[in-house]
């Protein structure tokens, strides 16, 4: 059997529809399903733009006929003649089950007879053979309604993922014929010029046309210091323009952007099965043929051992056995449970690349994190101002006025800190000393602002402890005398401390790895309450640390955002990438992507994994308990077809409702 309910194939088709409908979606690789396979898992070729009731008009008509026949029979005592009843019920049966019968026939002629479609067809046609027309129709109607219900649940899950994808940047300002216009990113051609304003994310790869620009590259390099780009240098998608408007010539189309890669991840997510799904698939391949042959045995073996054997009576028991034995409650609700978990995660800004990673998150006991861009914002902020012989306000004012002549992010941080004071004067005779800092006159005073090498160059003495400061530092001299310093550091994310505490509440061990100085790493770790912190690490050093933790028997989730994090993400049990600013390499390598870069979302991912596992096992236990009970009753002639179909469809309904309950949870 090819997966009894073949639910995973249905999800692949639905995901394909999602990919096609995604806003401004590029042309990407689609699943290699044949037309016949797609037909098998997209019942009726319904137009997705039609209302649901129109897509299932035949089923609804069949249900209406069934209800009318039952009301006439049990409500008013009006019984139709045998041939009229056969004709009316046959119409209802074909309206409700034509697609199921067609699928069963096509599978049977290919030698695939152990599947739900053949099973349901045999059971319902058998009911017609022994004269139980209404019961045969009921089995087909309620089974088809269950399929409809399942498809709707999957649609809701895919819709929530589509909503997640739509938040990705998909418009750019392009310069055409000397004028700017905002167009979809997918329409930008190679060689065209786009304009990126301060604070905007670069949507496409290209090279800088403007003379100079400063970009936040922490997502790509793992370094906290922003990067100054000059005319002709490469600017990559994911970088954020920090100051003046920049013009970029496009060197890569939108189809190669981060957005299309995310779309491919969604497309592939449903194909990656969890261990539980794989077990159920294998179980169904063994279970279904067994119950099929048991049903045949139940109909025929009593002929040799039972007195007064009546074939129709024992055939009826076998049909009951067949209906209740259908494992669709398991093979429908379990994949749907995992897909529901993926949908819930997407609503919370988390992209799981497959149900298997939901299972992995239930075993994680150690979270290893990068520092820059993961625990910190990757942007500079003034942390401390120390003065000597001058007030803090005056020092900041003088330096801010001087720094207005520079586009360096460090200077911009000081200007932002100074506020209106930065506009209260003008610097003259400004000179930028490469690799050192700035020199100029402000309010008639000679001002030097830069690194320690700048003061050493001009032979200005300063306290020795200044050299021991670990943060980025701007040292200032006024009129050839040391006047103080300003420290500027990467700002810790607002939710970082809360996220670490929540991890500790779940008994998760926290470890931080960084390429920054150990003193900086220790400082951040102390502020956040991280258990262990290691600095001065190259990418291979991070790999060694994670390998050491794995050897201790720890189940590791690594969280990073830069290219240099990709090897460690691949090594960990669960690789988590910060997707808002994260590099393409990190996102592609990761198993889970946090779209909004929030640390607390890691805890949400852990909780969603455990919630999904719990609901999936609830469904397994419920379905197996009910089936064993009703199978036994059916074999002894206690349960009839009505009770079998109600038990089978009822369990499937309950399991599906329980599965889609995941998406309604608040994490």
By annotation, the residues acting in catalysis are 370
Tokens 């206690």 appear where? 638
Note whether 64 and 71 are within 8 A (CB): no
Q: How far apart are CA 412 and CA 460, in angstroms?
A: 25
Nearest C-alpha neighbor of 259 from the set 339, 189, 351, 321: 351
Q: How far apart are CA 569 and CA 513, in angstroms?
A: 12
Note whether 585 and 566 are within 8 A (CB): yes
Q: How far apart are CA 207 and CA 234, in angstroms?
A: 4
Q: Which structure tokens are listed for 647?
A: 């038990």
DSSP class of 531: S
Note whether 306 and 201 are within 8 A (CB): no
Q: How far apart are CA 218 and CA 597, in angstroms?
A: 13
In this structure, the strands spanning 246-250 and 206-208 are antiparallel
Q: How far apart are CA 402 and CA 547, in angstroms?
A: 49
Q: How far apart are CA 540 and CA 543, in angstroms?
A: 5
Note whether 336 and 153 are within 8 A (CB): yes
Note whether 534 and 513 are within 8 A (CB): yes
Q: Which helix (H) or strand (E) holds 434?
A: none
Note whether 149 and 658 are within 8 A (CB): no
For residue 404, CA distances in Å to 5, 210, 400, 413, 422 come to 67, 19, 6, 11, 8
Going across the sheet that includes 240-241, the strands are 227-230, 212-216, 240-241
């Amino acid at each position: 059997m090819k997966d009894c309910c073949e639910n995973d194939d249905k999800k692949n088709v639905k995901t394909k529809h999602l990919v096609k409908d995604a806003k401004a979606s590029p042309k990407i690789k689609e699943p290699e399903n044949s037309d016949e396979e797609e037909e098998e898992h997209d019942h009726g070729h319904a137009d997705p733009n039609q209302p649901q009731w129109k897509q299932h008009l035949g089923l609804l008509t069949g249900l209406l006929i069934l209800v009318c026949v039952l009301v006439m029979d049990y409500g008013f005592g009006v019984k139709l003649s045998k041939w009229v009843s056969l004709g009316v019920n046959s119409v209802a049966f074909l309206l409700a089950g034509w697609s199921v019968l067609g699928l069963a026939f096509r599978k049977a002629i290919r030698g695939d007879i152990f599947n739900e479609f053949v099973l349901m067809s045999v059971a319902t046609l058998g009911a017609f053979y022994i004269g139980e027309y209404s019961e045969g129709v009921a089995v087909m109607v309620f089974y088809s309604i269950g399929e409809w219900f399942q498809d709707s649940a999957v649609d809701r899950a895919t819709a929530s993922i589509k909503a997640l994808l739509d938040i990705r940047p998909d418009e750019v300002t392009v310069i055409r014929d000397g004028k700017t216009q905002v167009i979809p990113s997918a329409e930008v051609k190679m060689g065209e010029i786009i304009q990126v304003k301060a604070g905007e994310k670069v949507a496409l790869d290209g090279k800088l046309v403007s003379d100079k620009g400063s970009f936040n590259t922490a997502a790509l390099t793992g370094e906290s210091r922003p990067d100054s780009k000059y005319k002709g240098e490469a600017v990559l998608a994911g970088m954020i323009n920090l100051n003046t408007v920049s013009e970029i010539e496009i060197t890569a189309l939108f189809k190669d952007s981060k957005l299309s890669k995310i779309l491919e991840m969604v497309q592939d997510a449903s194909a990656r099965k969890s261990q539980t799904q794989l077990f159920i698939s294998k179980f169904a391949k063994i279970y279904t043929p067994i119950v099929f042959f048991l049903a045949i045995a139940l109909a025929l073996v009593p002929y040799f051992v039972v007195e007064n054997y009546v074939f129709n009576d024992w055939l009826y028991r076998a049909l009951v056995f067949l209906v209740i034995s259908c494992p669709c409650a398991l093979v429908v609700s379990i994949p749907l449970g995992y897909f529901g978990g993926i949908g819930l995660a997407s609503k919370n800004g988390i992209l799981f690349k497959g149900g298997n990673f939901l299972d992995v998150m239930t075993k994680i006991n150690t979270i290893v994190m990068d520092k820059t861009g993961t625990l910190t914002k990757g942007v500079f902020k003034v942390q401390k101002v120390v003065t000597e012989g001058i007030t803090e306000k005056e020092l900041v004012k003088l330096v801010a006025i001087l720094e207005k002549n520079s586009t360096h992010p460090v200077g911009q941080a000081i200007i932002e800190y100074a506020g209106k004071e930065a506009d209260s004067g003008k610097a003259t005779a400004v000179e930028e000393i490469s690799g050192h800092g700035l020199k100029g006159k402000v309010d008639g005073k000679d001002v030097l602002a830069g690194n320690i090498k700048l003061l050493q160059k001009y032979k200005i003495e300063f306290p020795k402890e200044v050299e021991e400061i670990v943060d980025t530092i701007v040292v200032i001299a006024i009129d050839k005398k040391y006047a103080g310093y300003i420290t500027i550091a990467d700002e810790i994310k607002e939710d970082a401390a809360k996220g670490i505490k929540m991890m500790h509440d779940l008994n998760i061990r926290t470890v931080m790895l960084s390429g920054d100085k150990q003193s900086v790493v220790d400082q951040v770790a102390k502020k956040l309450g991280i258990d262990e912190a290691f600095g001065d690490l190259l990418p291979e050093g991070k790999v060694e640390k994670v390998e050491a933790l794995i050897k201790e028997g720890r189940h590791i989730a690594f969280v990073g955002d830069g290219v240099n994090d990709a090897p460690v993400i691949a090594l960990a049990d669960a690789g988590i990438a910060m997707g808002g600013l994260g590099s393409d390499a990190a996102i592609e390598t990761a198993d889970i992507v946090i779209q909004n870069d929030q640390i607390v979302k890691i805890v949400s991912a852990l909780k969603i994994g455990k919630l999904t596992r719990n609901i999936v096992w609830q469904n397994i236990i419920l379905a197996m308990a009910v089936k064993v009970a009703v199978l036994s009753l059916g074999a002894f002639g206690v349960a009839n077809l009505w009770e079998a179909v109600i038990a089978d469809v009822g369990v499937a309904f309950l399991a599906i409702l329980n599965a889609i309950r995941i998406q309604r949870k608040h994490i």
